Structure 1
Amino acid sequence: MQSESLRSYLSASEGNYAVLNEYAAMEAYKGNTLASIFRSMEIVCQYPRQIIVLKTTGRICSLVGRAQGLQRRMIEERQTRDFSNFCRRLRAAQAGDTYIQRQLLENGRAADGQMDRILADAPILPGAIKELRKTFRPEELKAIRLDEPFPDTLIEKSMKFIVELTFSKMGTHPSPPSRIRSMEELQNTFLFRHSVSTFVWALDWIARGGADNVRADRMRNDVIDVIFATYAAAPTAAPIRRMKGIS
């Protein structure tokens, strides 16, 4: 959010867009909100018409995987249209508007709460990676460790793990997709893509020897990074230029 690369990208063309999900916002709000939020939003607020705000992750998890309109369904159109107003409110808060400052602090507390919940679950992750590692044969572990082509047995295990993890997530999520009519639609769901990203993340740790004794806050940061990777892997069913109408 504070990278000069972001500024260069947005300033290069009005057709360049930055996409904000709720975890980007949480990262901006968490901690010392009235210091971090202004720094984090400084660049994007200079280009408010080039910012696309996504729905919450919970709502996106419930979206069907139909290819038509896939990107459009992920966008929170009202917040995208109103992003300029959000930036004006931020400037007012920075100038001393106490009412808006209180609202920002409330959002900051909510962000801290979610980060704390992820942190509380983080200690179980190294053990889960270790259990996954036990399912691989020596030649499969060698391929993972040396970044070699996967043997057929490892490909089969990978797909089985990803699909089972996806349906496990759907079984516990409060609002899973209402219907899955094909494998293509399954692959287009957020929960499937999150399972793929989670699996690749676990393989990366296995390739490095495991995640034993890794701090819980490092695991939490990884969990959030996996969510960002999931969003980045979303299929491009529609050209980004079609979204200009709502910016």
Structure 2
Amino acid sequence: MTGTRLVIDSSKLQSAELREFLSASTANLAVLPDFAWFEVYKQETVDAVLALLSVIGDFPEQITVLKSGEVIARLNLGLPSGVAAMERQDVAPLIREMIHVISGPRREDPIVLQQLKDLWSSAAVSLVGMHEGAIDIVTSLPEMSEQMFSQHEIRIIRTNGRYTEEMFASIFGAAEQIWETLAEGYGLQWRSMLRDHTMSAYLFRYALGIVIYLLWWIGSGSPKLERVDRIRNDLIDLNFAVYATYYDGFLTADRKAKWIFLNLSRALEAAGTSGRG
């Protein structure tokens, strides 16, 4: 039996939609990016942890958690086993154990909550490091916009008009430049990669996602980019959207993240890859 695999945004962890999706078929899988899983650790009370586990805790065998972005960025996702290599294999027992501990007599044990806090702290540090270079790229969006598009093309973006061939060339050209910069930073041998493997690479899709984010930013009137915390949150959403291109869809309450996912998927299809694992 073949089910549907959806990437789940943090905003949908406790949703009726997620429960209905998992209840509909035992073959359906909820794919949690590492940061969505870390959200469980972030909670400051045991009751809050239990609340976040209220849906996924009832379907431990149907939950898949992705490895860290640092690991996924170095995988060759163009191989047949690529998408499976993104996924952790220890999740169901971990979920059951967590619920057992925080539902039982140890729930008030300060050591339990401290362990969760420690896990959250290490996860947050890892995430900040991963996004450092991308934040520098995003804060240069005004300059990128001026270099990539004419005023006429910017009007096309803002009025949701039909993109020209020149605009598509600019979009993919910028994505390739960002990809090369990110790949160099990770020590990837990007020059020798096959085209299909490049298109499947997480960092290439992330780079293309940054350019899609640029299109959203232009379409929103090019607002000032001053708050790093807001940019970091947008990059987390972008991560989720990129992961979703390897699966069957994206369950999110965030309109911007949904827009980025849809347009990133269309861009990949236009480039000749569906990206499904």
Does TM, normalized by the shorter one, top 0.5?
yes
* Secondary structure of residue in 1 paired with 2:31: strand
Q: CA deviation at 1:226?
A: 0.4
Cα distance in 2 for partners of 1:146, 1:14 equals 43
Aligned position for 2:75: 63
Change (3 A) 1:94 1:50: farther
Cα distance in 2 for partners of 1:189, 1:232 equals 13
Cα distance in 1 for partners of 2:17, 2:92 equals 22
Aligned residues of 1:126 and 1:212 also touching (Cα < 8 A): no
Number of residues of Structure 1 aligned to a counterpart in Structure 2: 236
* Of 148, 151, 167, the match for 1:154: 167
| CA offsets 1:63-104 (integer angstroms, 9 cap, x no match) | 013241222111112335644334434434873344433321
| CA offsets 1:93-138 (integer angstroms, 9 cap, x no match) | 8733444333212112224445666898897566412111111112
Alignment pair present for 1:39 and 2:51: yes
Aligned position for 2:65: 53
Aligned position for 2:152: 139
* Secondary structure of residue in 2 paired with 1:209: coil
Cα distance in 1 for partners of 2:106, 2:190 equals 43
1:202-217 paired onto structure 2 within 5 Å: 202-212=214-224, 215-217=227-229
- The worse-fitting range, judged by mean Cα deviation, of 105-114 and 193-202 is 105-114
Aligned residues of 2:106 and 2:112 also touching (Cα < 8 A): no
- The worse-fitting range, judged by mean Cα deviation, of 120-129 and 131-140 is 120-129
CA-based RMSD of the aligned residues comes to 2.8
Amino acid in the other structure paired with 1:18: A
| TM-score, structure 1 normalization | 0.83
Aligned residues of 1:34 and 1:105 also touching (Cα < 8 A): no
Cα distance in 2 for partners of 1:180, 1:42 equals 46
Cα distance in 2 for partners of 1:196, 1:105 equals 34
Alignment pair present for 1:236 and 2:276: yes
Change (3 A) 1:132 1:90: farther
Change (3 A) 1:86 1:179: farther
Cα distance in 1 for partners of 2:118, 2:158 equals 45
| TM-score, structure 2 normalization | 0.74
Change (3 A) 1:11 1:214: farther
Aligned residues of 1:62 and 1:177 also touching (Cα < 8 A): no
- The worse-fitting range, judged by mean Cα deviation, of 37-46 and 153-162 is 37-46
Cα distance in 2 for partners of 1:153, 1:159 equals 10
Q: Extract unaligned runs of 5+ from structure 1.
A: 238-247
Change (3 A) 1:65 1:49: closer
Aligned residues of 1:33 and 1:105 also touching (Cα < 8 A): no
Aligned position for 1:241: none
Aligned position for 1:185: 197
* Secondary structure of residue in 2 paired with 1:19: strand
* Secondary structure of residue in 2 paired with 1:5: helix
Aligned residues of 1:65 and 1:180 also touching (Cα < 8 A): no
Cα distance in 2 for partners of 1:191, 1:39 equals 33
Cα distance in 2 for partners of 1:168, 1:179 equals 12
Aligned residues of 1:162 and 1:196 also touching (Cα < 8 A): yes
Q: CA deviation at 1:32?
A: 2.3
Cα distance in 2 for partners of 1:162, 1:47 equals 38
Cα distance in 2 for partners of 1:119, 1:181 equals 24
* Secondary structure of residue in 2 paired with 1:77: coil
Alignment pair present for 1:167 and 2:180: yes
